[in-house]
Chains A and B, each alone.
Chain A
Amino acid sequence: MPPANCKEGDVATKYDWPAAADRSLIGKRISRTDGPDKVTGQAKYSYDRNLDGMLVAKIVSSPHAHARITKIDTRAAEGISGVRAVEIFNDVGAEIQWIGTEIVALAADTEEIARDAVAAVKVEYEVLPHLVKEEEVDKAGDRVKPAADKTTGDPDAAFGQAGAVHEGYYGLATITHCCHEPHGQVVDWTGDEIVVYASTQAVGRIGADLAKNLSADEAMGVVKPSDVRVITPVMGGGFGSKFAIDTWGIACAKLSKKTGKPVKLMLDRDQELMIAGGRPSDYGKIKVAAAKDGSLTAYESESWSTGGVTSRGAPPLPYVIEPPNTRIRHLNVSTNTGPARAWRAPNHPQAAVLTMCAYEDLAAKLGMDPLKLFKKNVGLTQRPEVYRAELDKAAQLMDWPAKWHPPGEGGSGHVKRGVGISMHTWGGRPHDSQCRVTIHPDGEVVAELGSQDLGSGTQTVIGIVAAETMGLPLSAVNVKIGDSNYPPSGPSGGSTTVGGVSSSTRRASVHALEQLKEAVAPSLGTTADQIEAGGGHLAVKGGSGKLSWKDACRKLGANSISETGKQPMRDGGKLADSGVGGVQMADVSVDTETGIVSMNKMVAVQDCGLIIDLKTADSQVYGALIQGICYALWEERIFDQATGIYLNADMEFYKLAGIGDIGELVVHMMTGVYDDRGVIGLGEPPVISPGAAISNAVANAIGVRVPTLPLTPDKVLAALEKKGGMA
């Protein structure tokens, strides 16, 4: 099968990835290099920084979803012994638009004193009318605004001529990021430099962000981006929610300036869930049509969602499989809820639910195995060959032909079993990145990038690329990331990191190695172009002369080699690409007496170009499946409309999967010819399909659609009742 999107006429360059037979590290299963630091507790996260004289700051939050501040009195709080400084986020007169909004931050000698201070701050509010729920869009009044309205082809005619038409209601609730390490940072502004130890996905960006915001406050003086240094060697999860310095980062810096001491300000768990995360909901009435043979002809949607007070855009509908006739209408509902942040694969999981569930229900109406319907329509996707191959592979790994049954025929007992499918796509282009590779005379190789490792294995990938290029073991490369003093590399979002850092590192390593070859060529009695690196040696091609890496580097005398590589680079070859497809299948059991859905198995088949480290790539997909199981079955931000209260801003009732909840997970990465496209990001794609695949599996099991995620027992039982009792 030809690699998808492989462009004709790509010119070979010295940077190109080594051929499969020549790879000793790339594509192998390699343990992450920061693993030992993490399992021993030695890895220092922002939350773990304990600097000399450091103060702890805590935040007073709004208890109201919508209100105006009428009075703030911090005198009692400031009178508490050990309270050192106060910073106001929102002053008297400010309109508060969601619960948890930051009002005041206080820095104190200890966390306990800071909490006393928070409790002693008196804030009075004029409470205003709120809307915190959006599913019943008819009740949203003038808070509803059109966000998209687009028609292609002639949907009305297509529906009129269709062999089968299905109309259904689907949706999924807003979920939050719930990063284990909450948002926050330690700021040390005790000297000329402002050092920010931030839990961030954007080491290279938030310094300038902070400088700009501080400069806007006269009391802070003029702060230049170069005055700020960001240090983040490890961070405890972001998932798209940690790109900005955020109000608490700015407040933390101001408190440090005011007190002349380092200040730690990490959000509390309830604040983390209320104000620092949120993936928009989506609900929609979907109408789909097909010919009698299952060829999809039309898709129509009337959908709505909330991203908080402001709009969050519209989901890409219809998703992956695009019939020729479509009508897409999307509404945005402004609610008094915490603002949306990018959540792995923004808008795609929602689009998958609003598309793939309708397609499977249409297949049911046609009396057709959905696998056949999806395969029949791969021509309506951007990469038919990839999806066809992936559907076949997934079906084999799931044993689909043996497991699928017509909807509702999931067994004779009260526990019904069913299977479902979903498909997804993502870009994953490389972000801009610079890498500096230094070879020291003692043989040390250092790769430096102002990048960050979110737990995706970025540090390991960089090491593998540098080591592979120089023919060294991975342990010979010292990878330094997570510091804005290193060459700039993009923020980690949208699956852009692996392509960016692997490309820049490859080029920097090629450049540095060229320099080393030049330096040792005279000793080997040849020219640089006749030297090859491998197995820890530099050797004359086809000859007998060779030097160990250490001996070769010794030839540098007192001078280190330091070379930079960039992504993008003109004439730098094609090391990375974008655009992938994936297929997932779920196998669930549904207890029709309790409504509980449990996972038996999930299969993920994923294309992502050349994989640098198969072990951490697999982990990304396993993790995505588990996060998908979470939002399919339990995760939901729950508000009470009467009070505007966020009911589950904690980890007891904001439910995530435990180790016993996930079933068997099977990951298959498409490799081989797919490698030819170069590196493509993987963080987003595999998290897109689980919701739709699991919903489809439940529908297959019980013969009725549970319309919205999460598929909680109450909704399962309600769907069964609507159907007329047990499946």
Chain B
Amino acid sequence: MSSNKTKEGPEKTQQPKNDFSRRTFLQGVGVGTTAVGAGVLTTEAKADHHEAKVHGPGAVPITLTVNGKAHKVDLEPRVTLLDALRDRLDYTGAKKVCDRATCGSCTVMLDGKAVYACSILAIEGQGRDIQTVEGLASGDNLHAVQAHFVENDAQQCGFCTPGFVVACKAFLDHNPNPTMADVERGLSGNICRCGTYVGVRQAVLDAARELQGGRRGD
């Protein structure tokens, strides 16, 4: 692998915090070197952003802050955040299932928002606060969402569970007092194959109540 011309640290492109969008994604990615091969997107990026930095194609050193801990890693710019977390840093809680931003099993939080890690490049994660399922519990104390997932048996094979847990956590951060309809709308981005939605719905409502100050199970 040649290291090529770019060896930046964290991205310097201007990005509004907590406003991850396709546009900011493309700005950060740069042009023409990504695994996201859709021609229309690349064209749009070219038109919109003239100062895109070129990374790679060889491995570049980057720093990712995961659950508050900084990790230095060398990787090709085409590596997704999910693959960086799972294969390079051994954060294997987020799962690779559809690998195309459909099922939500790879959900992590980026600056407090739930995102599909399979569809974000690792280099885009620089300078951002990445939270994974591994960071939710403190020691043996499960986060309320996790505890209510266990109580309501909101899991079977468990392969969608970490992504679902993170999505629920992020959902409750932004919707602390949801109705059932809110839950069904707000968590529609995660697919479970075993069929655990009955438990998930209840777990989210129970966790909301607990986080609002109610006692668990009341």
Task: Show the binding face of A for B, using Cβ within 8 Å.
Answer: 31-32, 34-36, 38-45, 47-48, 50, 56, 81, 110-112, 178-182, 234-237, 239, 268-269, 454-457, 615-616, 618-620, 622-627, 630, 650-652, 656-660, 662, 665
Contacts and interface: CB of A to CB of B under 8 A. Distances in A.
A236 B95 contact: yes
B90 to A, nearest CB: 5
A650 B98 contact: yes
A32 B97 contact: no
B146 interface: yes
B97 A651 contact: yes
Nearest to B83: A111
Contacts of A43: 158
B58 to A, nearest CB: 11
Nearest to B145: A39
B153 A41 contact: no
B156 A619 contact: yes
B156 A39 contact: no
Interface stretch (B6-14, B20-28, B42-50, B194-202): B194-202
A181 B197 contact: no
B100 A662 contact: no
Contacts of B183: 659
22 contacts: A35-B149, A38-B161, A39-B161, A39-B162, A40-B133, A40-B136, A40-B137, A40-B146, A42-B93, A48-B86, A111-B87, A180-B193, A234-B158, A237-B194, A269-B98, A619-B153, A622-B196, A627-B193, A651-B97, A651-B98, A652-B100, A660-B184
Contacts of A620: 156
Nearest to B184: A660
B100 A650 contact: yes
Contacts of A624: 195
Contact of B134 (A41, A268, A454, A619): A41
B53 to A, nearest CB: 20
Contacts of A651: 97-98, 100, 102-103, 191
A35 B155 contact: yes
B124 interface: no
A268 B83 CA distance: 14
Contacts of B87: 50, 56, 110-111
A455 B103 contact: no
Given A111-B83, A619-B196, A656-B191, A41 B93 contact: yes
A230 to B, nearest CB: 18
Interface string B153-194: 101111111100100000000000000000111011011111
For the complex of A and B, the 6 pairs showing the least CB-CB separation, nearest first, are: A41-B93, A626-B195, A236-B159, A455-B157, A623-B195, A660-B184
B199 A619 contact: yes
A180 B197 contact: no
B184 to A, nearest CB: 3
A45 B94 CA distance: 11
Contacts of B184: 659-660
Which of A42, A236, A622, A665 has most chain B Cβ within 10 Å?
A: A236
A660 B102 contact: no
Given A651-B97, A657-B197, 14 more contacts: A39-B149, A41-B133, A41-B162, A112-B76, A180-B95, A235-B157, A269-B100, A455-B156, A615-B153, A626-B196, A652-B100, A657-B195, A659-B190, A662-B198
B113 interface: no
Given A35-B153, A650-B98, A180 B198 contact: no
Contacts of A622: 195-199
Given A180-B160, A658-B188, A659-B184, A48 B194 contact: no
B99 interface: yes
Contacts of A625: 195
B132 interface: yes
Contacts of A236: 95, 157-159
A269 B195 contact: no
Contacts of B159: 45, 180-181, 236-237
B41 interface: no
A627 B157 contact: no
